[in-house]
Structure 1
Amino acid sequence: MKKKVLGIATILSALMLVLAACGGGSSSNSSGGDSKETSGSLTAVGSTALQPLVEAAGKQFQSENPKAQINVQGGGSGTGLTQVQQGAVEIGNSDVFAEEKDGVDASKLVDHKVAVVGMAPVANKDVGVDNLTQQQLIDIFTGKVTNWKDVGGKDEKVTVINRAEGSGTRATFEQWALKGETPIKAQEQDSSGTVRKIVSETPGAISYLAFSYINKSVVGLSVDGVKPDEKNVATNEWKIWSYEHMYTNGKPKGLTKTFLDYMVSDAVQKDIVPQLGYQSIKEMKVERDADGKITEL
């Protein structure tokens, strides 16, 4: 009988050891799950102003996560918002709030602000002007001024290049630079890169670009004596700017969430963002809502 009791005690002790081991294994597996390599693919479509930043961040993310694939395409903010709403892509890139786009149900989309982009009027280098008043800018884009000599420049015809309907850059420019005025019908382009090329090669040309696209091939114009730079954007002294939004259809999960978290990490905000001419959302001194209301931070 004594031997039988001892045998039962031995079995119970062994079972307790096994259960303890199983509990430890579960904790280890949970920890190990957090370190699984990121994999899968996602597509981000929309704003061409935001495209260079997402492409650069995507390449760096892929170098750190070789099993992940980040596909980035342009097409304009309207396209991005429409496609993410339809579920055709994981992320819709936009220069404007979803609430500002007709046909988009903003209540179904989740906004992820990843940067701020300043935008400026740009002209061909031969126009002889580097500053305009806001009213002069409005008069040029609405067709009231057709020669650069009328605003202090060369005796040269003004050629307006516009962005296409659906462009977030166009919507931002019309709202904040043109005070809501509708520009004249003119040549329209879908791509910021194409706009820059045309302006640089066309005497008398004027258009507008995100800071990230402005280089020595064109002239970035000041407005009312205020220079288009990040310092002035941060305080809203330069008013032609917008958030760069990456919208998802509902709360993001999996690779989409991981990549969006990466977009606001120091690896992107402190390094890639300023290198490409964008502004970190963490450096803004003001906040602007979808109605245009400014709040100091």
Structure 2
Amino acid sequence: MDFLVGGDFPVEIVLAIIAILLSAGAFLWEFVFVGRRQLGYRVQMDTPVTGEIESVFPGVLPQLRPDLDGSSPELKDLSVVLVRIENSGATTIDSRDYQAPDVGRVGLHLHFPQRRVIGMAVTELSEPGLADSLDRDSGIAVREDMIGHIGVIDLPKVSLNRGDHYKILAILQRSEGTGEYRAPVLQGGIKGGTVTETQSRTGASRVMLALTAFLVLVIVVQLVVAAVEPDPTPLDCAAGKLTLVGSSAFAPVILDAAAQYRKRCTGAEFTFAFEGTERGLDRLIEEGKNNRELLAITDGPKGEGYAALLKRPLGLSLFTMVVHKDVGVRSLTAAQIEDIYQDRITNWRDVGGPDLPIVLVNRIPGSGTRNTFERRLLTQPQVIRSHVSCKALEDLPPPDAAHCDVQVTKDMLQAVADLRGAIGYSEFSEATRVGVPTVAINGVAASRDSAIDRTYPFWGIEFAYSYGELPGDSLAAAFRRYLTDEAGRNVLTAHGNVACGDLPDPTRCQPDV
């Protein structure tokens, strides 16, 4: 083996190999715990390490400071956590037993409140074969919930025989607050079983503690190397300034994806104008020829016109009907929804609700969400109505059925929440986040699984449009690729969507399917 590559000696790779080899051998020294049917986890270590490390390497941590660009973490307020994940039940747990979408690879989420994850390793495997389920292609990943100040390690759907286990060793840094940290929590579910915090019957052996201490040192050395010599920019990073316009329903996904992209690619800047699908496409036509750093995101295909625009499917997006809280109706048939929007049903009592006039809330014509609604749930065009602002109805409760129009998703959810008797439609994850009551269709609630198997009818395909072919080295091209690769797929999944590449039938992402 040739390790002499000029100044590019692969120190981190060598350290990682050593850590993996030690982790694979460490399981021989660990005890086996068998209990009732469950997937258990135990926090076997959660302790500050700053003082201990400084006593061995005096002055190391204070000298480590972020680079001038702020990309490297300041190494202070560190702690070490060791968590054991185990099949503590009496039966085998396989990848299909995790209560997570079948199309995804992530099954569990290890949360560290008030801390961010700055280093992580798999330190022990009860069976060597588990290594194949926990390698870098397994879906195991580190991220941070910026709003909740929670560090997260996403864990894959690992098949575990009775008594099998693996351990996650994390180096953490405080992200919020003072005093003692809240305990780490493993989130997720097992079909027909439980995910439970279990208790250890014996303490960890001295050999295991020694191995753990060595791995802590390995990770700290890796952090030192990273601080002194930062990682190179990822190959698919591009610098520049990209403007994203279009669908307000898909805006939260794009905003999150852009934030994640900026963490990896510090030379990228984004601006946003989510004013609706039609306005986004019109802006792309108007400006796209002279501005190649412009992408339009749409709910569904562009339809007629816009011949100069090229599309790229992103994923399946879930939509839902929403109603005012006083309506009380939580399920409608597709036929009832059509009758309501064709003015054939104008009072909630006709569909099992209270004696209350129905207020129809519509997105304006040209909205991608409206087009998806009409395409999936209506058999003929809506009746022609004059434009009425929903704000005009707030202070004058109508004595009879009424209607109004809104520009974007945020206004739709606000109007339905404010107007008694209101019904509308929205992207599903935004509706649940805001807390507006949702409505099942034909007795089937909105979910990824029901949309994938087509038992739930209200779904659409999101597209990214560009003005002609994009330069391969442009930020627009790089970010569009990011939305469809592994990292971007994780963002889509986190918001309740399904990437086209993860669908059992990817042809559903074609415009006419």
TM range (shorter): 0.7 to 0.9
| Letter in structure 2 aligned against 1:95 | D
Q: Is the 8 A contact 1:235 1:285 kept in 2?
A: no
Match of 2:488 in 1: 268
Is residue 190 from structure 1 mapped to residue 410 from structure 2 by the alignment? no
Cα drift, residue 161 of structure 1 = 0.5
Name the SS for the 2:450 alignment partner.
helix
User: 254, 258, 274: which one pairs with 2:478?
Assistant: 258
- SS of residue matched to 1:242: strand
Q: Name the SS of the counterpart of 1:112 in structure 2.
A: strand
Moved more, 160-169 or 80-89: 80-89
Alignment match of 1:219 (pick from 419, 437, 443): 437
What count of residue pairs does the alignment treat as equivalent? 257
1:240 aligns with: 458
Q: Taking every aligned residue pair, what percent have the same amino acid on both sides? A: 26
**Residue number in structure 2 paired with 1:200:** 417
Q: Which runs of 5+ in 2 are unaligned?
A: 1-231, 386-402
- TM-score normalised by structure 2 residue count: 0.47
Alignment of 1:154-173 (within 5 A): 154-173=354-373
Aligned equivalent of 1:40: 240
Letter in 1 for 2:314: V
Structure 2 Cα separation of the partners of residues 175 and 161 of structure 1 = 17
Tell me the distance in 2 between the aligned counterparts of 1:235 and 1:82: 34
Mapped to 2, the partners of 1:123 and 1:115 lie a distance apart of: 26
CA contact (8 A) 1:116 1:280 kept: yes
Q: Structure 2: how far apart are the matches of 1:218 and 1:33?
A: 42
Alignment partner of 1:139 is 2:339: yes
Compared CA separation, residues 116 and 246, structure 1 to 2 (3 A) = same
* Counterparts of 1:49 and 1:199, CA distance in 2: 15
CA contact (8 A) 1:77 1:96 kept: no
Task: Tell me, yes or no, if the aligned pair for 1:125 and 1:200 is still in contact at 8 Å.
Answer: yes
Secondary structure (helix, strand or coil) at the match of 1:43 reads strand
Task: Look up the match of 2:306.
Answer: 104
Q: Secondary structure at the match of 1:243?
A: strand
Greater relative contact order (Cα < 8 A, sep 6+): 1
Contact 1:122–1:206 (8 Å) recurs in 2: yes
- The offset of 1:50, in angstroms, is 1.5
| 1:47–1:74 CA contact under 8 A, matched in 2 | yes
Q: Aligned AA for 2:305?
A: G
Structure 2 CA distance for aligned equivalents of residues 60 and 33 of structure 1: 14
1:46-104 Cα shifts (integer Å, max 9, x gaps): 11112111111111111222221122221111122222233346111111212x1x432
Name the CA distance, whole Å, in 2 between partners of 1:134 and 1:85: 36
Contact 1:49 1:212 in 2 (8 A): no
- Deviation, 1:125, is 1.8
SS in 2 for 1:221: strand
2:498 — aligned with what?
279
Are 2:332 and 2:442, in contact at CA under 8 Å, matched by a contact in 1?
Answer: yes
- 1:93 pairs with 2:297: yes
Segments of 5+ residues of structure 1 without an aligned counterpart are: 1-31
Structure 1 length-normalised TM: 0.80
> In 1, Cα distance between the equivalents of 2:500 and 2:334?
26
CA change 1:193–1:34 in 2 (3 A) is closer
Q: How many Å separate the matches in 1 of 2:430 and 2:368?
A: 15
Match of 2:254 among 50, 54, 77: 54
Task: Map Cα deviations across residues 156-199 of structure 1 (whole Å, 9 max, x no partner).
Answer: 11111100111000011011111233156331111101111111
Amino acid at match of 1:63: K
Task: For 1:225, give the aligned amino acid.
Answer: G
- For the residue of structure 1 that corresponds to 2:249, the secondary structure is coil
Q: Which has the higher helix share?
A: 1
- Aligned AA for 1:274? T
